[in-house]
Copies of this chain bind each other. A is one copy, B any other.
Amino acid sequence: MKRVKKQRLERAGWVVGDSAQFLRLSVEENRFIELKLALATGVRELRERRGLTQAALAHRLGSSQSRVAKMEAADRSVSLDLIMRSLLTIGATATDIAKWIKRAETARAA
Protein backbone atom coordinates (compact mmCIF):
# COMPACT_ATOMS: atom_id res chain seq x y z
CA MET A 1 0.00 0.00 0.00
CA LYS A 2 1.21 3.47 -0.85
CA ARG A 3 2.60 5.32 2.11
CA VAL A 4 0.42 8.36 1.58
CA LYS A 5 -2.79 6.39 1.31
CA LYS A 6 -1.89 4.39 4.38
CA GLN A 7 -1.40 7.58 6.35
CA ARG A 8 -4.73 8.91 5.13
CA LEU A 9 -6.55 5.85 6.33
CA GLU A 10 -4.74 5.98 9.62
CA ARG A 11 -5.62 9.59 10.06
CA ALA A 12 -9.22 8.50 9.76
CA GLY A 13 -8.68 6.26 12.75
CA TRP A 14 -8.24 2.94 11.01
CA VAL A 15 -5.48 0.61 11.81
CA VAL A 16 -3.89 -0.42 8.55
CA GLY A 17 -1.45 -3.25 8.69
CA ASP A 18 -0.79 -6.90 9.05
CA SER A 19 -3.56 -9.18 10.18
CA ALA A 20 -1.65 -9.78 13.37
CA GLN A 21 -2.60 -6.29 14.35
CA PHE A 22 -4.65 -7.47 17.28
CA LEU A 23 -1.52 -8.95 18.75
CA ARG A 24 0.04 -5.54 18.99
CA LEU A 25 -1.64 -4.71 22.22
CA SER A 26 -0.17 -7.63 24.06
CA VAL A 27 3.21 -7.11 22.50
CA GLU A 28 3.27 -3.53 23.66
CA GLU A 29 1.98 -4.57 27.03
CA ASN A 30 5.00 -6.81 27.29
CA ARG A 31 7.36 -4.06 26.31
CA PHE A 32 5.75 -1.88 28.92
CA ILE A 33 6.04 -4.49 31.61
CA GLU A 34 9.68 -5.09 30.86
CA LEU A 35 10.34 -1.41 31.07
CA LYS A 36 8.60 -1.21 34.41
CA LEU A 37 10.58 -4.18 35.60
CA ALA A 38 13.86 -2.64 34.53
CA LEU A 39 13.11 0.58 36.37
CA ALA A 40 11.88 -1.30 39.42
CA THR A 41 15.19 -3.09 39.49
CA GLY A 42 16.81 0.31 39.23
CA VAL A 43 15.03 1.40 42.37
CA ARG A 44 16.31 -1.59 44.26
CA GLU A 45 19.86 -1.19 43.02
CA LEU A 46 20.02 2.46 43.86
CA ARG A 47 18.33 2.05 47.22
CA GLU A 48 20.75 -0.63 48.26
CA ARG A 49 23.69 1.32 46.97
CA ARG A 50 22.53 4.15 49.23
CA GLY A 51 22.26 1.77 52.15
CA LEU A 52 18.59 2.51 52.68
CA THR A 53 16.00 0.08 53.90
CA GLN A 54 12.63 -0.14 52.21
CA ALA A 55 11.12 1.50 55.27
CA ALA A 56 13.55 4.40 55.09
CA LEU A 57 12.85 4.99 51.44
CA ALA A 58 9.13 4.72 52.11
CA HIS A 59 9.53 7.39 54.78
CA ARG A 60 11.21 9.70 52.31
CA LEU A 61 8.52 9.10 49.76
CA GLY A 62 5.75 9.56 52.25
CA SER A 63 4.75 6.03 51.49
CA SER A 64 4.91 2.70 53.25
CA GLN A 65 7.32 -0.20 53.32
CA SER A 66 4.84 -2.54 51.74
CA ARG A 67 4.42 -0.27 48.78
CA VAL A 68 8.16 -0.08 48.25
CA ALA A 69 8.34 -3.85 48.37
CA LYS A 70 5.60 -4.17 45.78
CA MET A 71 7.28 -1.50 43.73
CA GLU A 72 10.58 -3.32 43.59
CA ALA A 73 8.69 -6.45 42.66
CA ALA A 74 7.07 -4.49 39.83
CA ASP A 75 3.71 -5.52 41.21
CA ARG A 76 0.72 -4.91 38.96
CA SER A 77 -0.66 -2.49 41.49
CA VAL A 78 2.17 0.00 41.27
CA SER A 79 2.33 2.69 38.68
CA LEU A 80 5.26 3.89 36.71
CA ASP A 81 4.67 7.27 38.33
CA LEU A 82 5.55 5.93 41.73
CA ILE A 83 8.59 4.12 40.43
CA MET A 84 9.83 7.22 38.66
CA ARG A 85 9.24 9.43 41.67
CA SER A 86 11.19 6.97 43.74
CA LEU A 87 14.08 6.98 41.34
CA LEU A 88 14.21 10.75 41.44
CA THR A 89 13.93 10.76 45.21
CA ILE A 90 16.84 8.39 45.60
CA GLY A 91 18.80 10.67 43.36
CA ALA A 92 18.81 8.93 40.03
CA THR A 93 20.02 11.08 37.19
CA ALA A 94 18.45 11.17 33.75
CA THR A 95 21.45 9.22 32.61
CA ASP A 96 20.78 6.48 35.12
CA ILE A 97 17.17 6.23 34.07
CA ALA A 98 18.10 6.15 30.43
CA LYS A 99 20.53 3.37 31.19
CA TRP A 100 17.88 1.21 32.81
CA ILE A 101 15.45 1.84 29.99
CA LYS A 102 17.99 0.68 27.49
CA ARG A 103 18.65 -2.33 29.61
CA ALA A 104 15.00 -3.23 29.16
CA GLU A 105 15.43 -3.05 25.42
CA THR A 106 18.48 -5.25 25.40
CA ALA A 107 16.74 -7.73 27.66
CA ARG A 108 14.06 -8.09 24.99
CA ALA A 109 16.57 -9.00 22.37
CA ALA A 110 17.51 -12.06 24.36
A residues with CB within 8 A of B: 7, 10-15, 24-25, 28, 31-32, 35, 50-53, 55-56, 59-60, 62, 79-81, 84-85, 88-89, 93-95, 97-99, 101-102, 104-105
A56→B59 CA distance, assembly (Å): 42
Closest B residue by C-beta to A103: B94
B80→A13 contact, CB < 8 A? no
B contact residues around A81 at 8 Å (CB): 32, 79-81
- Closest residue of B by beta carbon distance from A28: B88
If A12-B56, A59-B15, A80-B79 touch, whether A94 touches B101 (CB-CB below 8 Å) is: yes
Contact between A11 and B101, CB atoms less than 8 A apart:
no
